C-alpha cells in the first residue's frame, strides 16, 4: 500500500475536519477523494504530506511517516491554493524546484521543457508568473507536481480554473500517469472527471468516509434490474412479482387480443426484445430470478443491475441523514 491511514482525525477547535478516516491506496491506483466544500479533503491531503499534524490516528505514506525526508522526493503535490513568486519565469521557477529536489542540472534542462510542453505552456516558458492567467498558473502548478517524476502524486482540485481544453488535458495527463504506474490521489468536485479517471473513489461528508469502492461497485443500482429475454409469456412475467415489482412496458397492450388479461399463456409481443425493469429488495435474488426465467423456457439475454451516474450517487449520499 502506498497510502494507509487508520482512524485519522483532525479537529480545529470545535470543528471536526477529518473523523475516523481509515483507507488504503495501492500502487498504481488512481484514487478519487470526493466531497462537498469543507468535507475535509484538503486537510486529509495535508496530513498525508506531513503539513498538518493529526489530532489522533495514524497515517503511512510509502511505508514511512508522512513528511519523512526519505520519501518526499518520490511524492508530488499540487496544492489547492498556492502562491508562486511573480518575478520568476515558469522555466526558472521549475528550475528552483528541481534544485530543491536535488535534480542534476542536465536532468533539469531535459525535463523542464518537456513538462512545460506537457501542460501546454511551451511557448510561455519565458513569461513571468506574474503575467500568467489563473489557468496558466494552475498548469505551472501541475508541472511542479510532476517535476520529480513522483511515484505518488496528490492533486488537490487540479482542474480548478482550467478551461474545457485544459480539463481534458489534465484528464489525459492522469491517464498517462496511470499507464506509467504512478499512483494518483485526486481531490475533485468534477464528478464526470472522476468518473473517467479514477479506479476507486471515496465520498467524504463532514470528515467521514460514507462510501468507498470501485466506481462499478458504487454506481451499481442494486434495486433495479433490467431483464431482456425472448419467449416470455405473460404468466412468466406475473410470476416475477414474487421477487419484486415489474415496472416496464412489455410490448403488449390491454386491447391486444393476446393481452395477459385474456390469455396468460400468450407469448409477449416483440418477444425477441422484451424488456422489463424489476424493482427488487437486493441483488441476492438475481440467481433465483435467472433460474426461474430459464426454467420457464425463456431465452435470457440479460439480467442486468442498472447503474446510476456518479453525480446521482453523490446527490443521494449528500441527502442521506446522518
Ligand X SMILES: Nc1ncnc2c1ncn2[C@@H]1O[C@H](COP(=O)(O)OP(=O)(O)OP(=O)(O)O)[C@@H](O)[C@H]1O
Q: Which residues bind ligand X (CB under 6 A)?
A: 12, 15, 17, 35, 37-43, 80
Binding segment for Mg ion among 8-16, 76-84, 203-211, 287-295 (CB under 5 A)? 76-84
**In the complex, minimum distance from the CB of residue 154 to ligand X, in angstroms, rounded to a whole number:** 12
Cα 274 off chain centre by = 34
**In the complex, minimum distance from the CB of residue 38 to Mg ion, in angstroms, rounded to a whole number:** 8
Q: Measure the N-to-C terminal CA separation of the chain; round to a whole number of Å.
A: 30
Choose the contact partner of 37 out of ligand X, Mg ion, none; CB within 5 to 8 A by kind.
ligand X
CB nearer to Mg ion: give 36 or 231. Answer: 36
Q: List Cα–Cα distances, 252 to 87, 230, 234, 249, in angstroms.
A: 73, 14, 9, 8
List, as one string, the DSSP characters of 287-300: HHHHHHHHHTT-EE
CB nearer to ligand X: give 170 or 237. Answer: 170
CB nearer to ligand X: give 39 or 280. Answer: 39
**In the complex, minimum distance from the CB of residue 39 to ligand X, in angstroms, rounded to a whole number:** 4
Q: Do 222 and 305 touch, CB atoms closer than 8 A?
A: yes
Choose the contact partner of 150 out of ligand X, Mg ion, none; CB within 5 to 8 A by kind.
none
Question: Angle at Cα 284 formed by Cα 283 and Cα 285, nearest 5°?
Answer: 90
CB nearer to ligand X: give 32 or 40. Answer: 40
**In the complex, minimum distance from the CB of residue 188 to Mg ion, in angstroms, rounded to a whole number:** 10
Choose the contact partner of 295 out of Mg ion, ligand X, none; CB within 5 to 8 A by kind.
none
CB nearer to ligand X: give 16 or 88. Answer: 16
Q: What secondary structure letter does DSSP report for 233?
A: B
Choose the contact partner of 43 out of ligand X, Mg ion, none; CB within 5 to 8 A by kind.
ligand X
Whose CB is nearest to Mg ion?
Answer: 42
**In the complex, minimum distance from the CB of residue 117 to ligand X, in angstroms, rounded to a whole number:** 29
> Which bin fits 45, alpha (ψ -120 to 50), beta or left (φ > 0)?
alpha
CB nearer to Mg ion: give 42 or 233. Answer: 42
Closest by alpha carbon to 82, among 138, 11, 30? Answer: 138
Can residue 197 be called a binding residue for Mg ion (CB under 5 A)? no
Cell, residue 226: 433490467
N residues, the chain: 322
Q: List Cα–Cα distances, 82 to 73, 139, 291, in angstroms.
A: 19, 12, 59
CB nearer to ligand X: give 47 or 125. Answer: 47
Choose the contact partner of 15 out of Mg ion, ligand X, none; CB within 5 to 8 A by kind.
ligand X
Which distant-in-sequence residues (6+ apart) come within 8 Å of 248 by Cβ? 275, 276, 277
Question: How many Cβ atoms sit within 10 Å of the Cβ of residue 200?
Answer: 18
**In the complex, minimum distance from the CB of residue 77 to Mg ion, in angstroms, rounded to a whole number:** 13
Binding mask 13-42 for Mg ion (x = CB under 5 A): ----------------------------xx
Cell, residue 155: 492533486
**In the complex, minimum distance from the CB of residue 44 to ligand X, in angstroms, rounded to a whole number:** 7
Which distant-in-sequence residues (6+ apart) come within 8 Å of 65 by Cβ? 50, 59
**In the complex, minimum distance from the CB of residue 80 to ligand X, in angstroms, rounded to a whole number:** 6
CB nearer to Mg ion: give 38 or 291. Answer: 38
The whole-angstrom separation of Cα 201 and Cα 185 is 10
Residue with C-alpha cell 446510476? Answer: 308
For binding to Mg ion (CB under 5 A), which residues are involved?
A: 41-42, 80
Amino acid at each position: 500500500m502506498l497510502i494507509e491511514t487508520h482512524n485519522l482525525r483532525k479537529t480545529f477547535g470545535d470543528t471536526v475536519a477529518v473523523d475516523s478516516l481509515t483507507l488504503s491506496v495501492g500502487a498504481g491506483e488512481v484514487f478519487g477523494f470526493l466531497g462537498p466544500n469543507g468535507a475535509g479533503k484538503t486537510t486529509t491531503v495535508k496530513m498525508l504530506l506531513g503539513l498538518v499534524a493529526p489530532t489522533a490516528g495514524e497515517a503511512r505514506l510509502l511505508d514511512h511517516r508522512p513528511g519523512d525526508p526519505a520519501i518526499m522526493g518520490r511524492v508530488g503535490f499540487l496544492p489547492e491554493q498556492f502562491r508562486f513568486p511573480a518575478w520568476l519565469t515558469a522555466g526558472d521557477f521549475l528550475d528552483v524546484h528541481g534544485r530543491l529536489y536535488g535534480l542534476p542540472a542536465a536532468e533539469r534542462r531535459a525535463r523542464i521543457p518537456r513538462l512545460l510542453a506537457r501542460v501546454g505552456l511551451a511557448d510561455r516558458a519565458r513569461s513571468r508568473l506574474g503575467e500568467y492567467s489563473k489557468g496558466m498558473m494552475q498548469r505551472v502548478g501541475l508541472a511542479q507536481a510532476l517535476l520529480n517524476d513522483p511515484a505518488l502524486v496528490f492533486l488537490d482540485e487540479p482542474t480548478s480554473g482550467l478551461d474545457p481544453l485544459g480539463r481534458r488535458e489534465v484528464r489525459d495527463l492522469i491517464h498517462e500517469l496511470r499507464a506509467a504506474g504512478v499512483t494518483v490521489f485526486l481531490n475533485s468536485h468534477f464528478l464526470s472527471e472522476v468518473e473517467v479517471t479514477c479506479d476507486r473513489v471515496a465520498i467524504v461528508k463532514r470528515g467521514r468516509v460514507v462510501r468507498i469502492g470501485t466506481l462499478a461497485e458504487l454506481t451499481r443500482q442494486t434495486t433495479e434490474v433490467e431483464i431482456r429475454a425472448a419467449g416470455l409469456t405473460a404468466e412468466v412475467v406475473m410470476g416475477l412479482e414474487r421477487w419484486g415489482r415489474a415496472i416496464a412496458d412489455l410490448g403488449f397492450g390491454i386491447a391486444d387480443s393476446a393481452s395477459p388479461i385474456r390469455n396468460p399463456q400468450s407469448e409477449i409481443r416483440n418477444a425477441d426484445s422484451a424488456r422489463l425493469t424489476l424493482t427488487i429488495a437486493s441483488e441476492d435474488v438475481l440467481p433465483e430470478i435467472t433460474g426461474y426465467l430459464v426454467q420457464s423456457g425463456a431465452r435470457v439475454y440479460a439480467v442486468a443491475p442498472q447503474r446510476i451516474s456518479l453525480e446521482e450517487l453523490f446527490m443521494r449520499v449528500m441527502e442521506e441523514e446522518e
